Amino acid sequence: MKLAVTGGKGGVGKSTVAYNLGAELDGVVIDGDLGMADLPARRGPDLHDVLAGRATPLEAVSEEGAVRLLPCGRSLAGGRGADPTALADVVDAVERQYGTVVVDVPAGLRSDVGVALLAADACLLVTRPTRPAVADAVRARELARAVDTPLARVVLNRVEQSYPENRLDRLATTLEGPVTQIPDSPAVRRAQRAGLPVRAVDPDDRATVAFATLATQVKQGVG
């Protein structure tokens, strides 16, 4: 299974969703943001090296820590030397070895977002319960549709109070996909600071339960 986690602009928690979903699915998370990597750094080669031909995809997968990760470099020079069009081959190689790949897609609507979406079997669309975030999500949904990447689910992230059913139904209709809510939680913020998935910080936290539910829904819908 190859899953892209996308959204509109930054700030909706897309990378957090990708990282925690990768943990729940026991897959490999690829930090696909060539210009502004947000997932934890690891030792060894990274996605910049792979896309520049200096390393193979499997050489760059780090199995250190709680989540297997193919990290992305953070230097401008490394980003300029990388060929983003090779990402699909990277994702395919990692899927053949590990079975499940979660790609953290860059924020915005640049061409490299479309490349990452094309590399996936399906996508998750992450948004926040605010009007600007939903408006950005609509544009991201249009891009996924334009490149024929199916929408697995909409993730309504960092929800302080559960949405009523009528508002969830409207959001699902607007974005054309079923909605899963991820509650706002201090445990998620502690996990981010530690570079860990939330289940490693608090396995009983309500966000941990929500991410586990999301993983089950994704497996049923995509796998």
> Does position 11 have pLDDT exceeding 90, yes or no?
no
| pTM for this prediction | 0.94
- Confidence (pLDDT) at 166: 86
Where along the chain do its domains lie?
A: 2-123+186-218
- Which three-class secondary structure state does DSSP give residue 154? strand
Q: What percent of the chain has pLDDT above 90?
A: 76
pLDDT: is 59 or 221 the higher one? Answer: 59
- Confidence (pLDDT) at 133: 92
The residues near 69 (Cβ < 8 Å, ≥ 6 apart) are 22, 28, 29, 30, 31, 39, 40, 42, 61, 62
- Confidence (pLDDT) at 117: 95
pLDDT band at 223 (very low <50, low <70, confident <90, very high): low
- Which three-class secondary structure state does DSSP give residue 122? strand
Q: What is the CATH number of domain 2-123+186-218?
A: 3.40.50.300
Each residue of 18-43: pLDDT tens digit? 999 999 999 999 999 888 788 988 88
- Confidence (pLDDT) at 76: 65
Mean pLDDT taken over the chain: 92
CA atoms within a 13 Å half-sphere pointing along the CA-CB vector of 45: 16
Strand ranges of the sheet holding 101-104, from the earlier edge strand across to the other edge: 68-70, 28-31, 101-104, 2-7, 122-127, 151-159, 179-183
Each residue of 99-150: pLDDT tens digit? 999 999 988 766 678 899 999 999 999 999 899 999 999 999 999 999 999 9
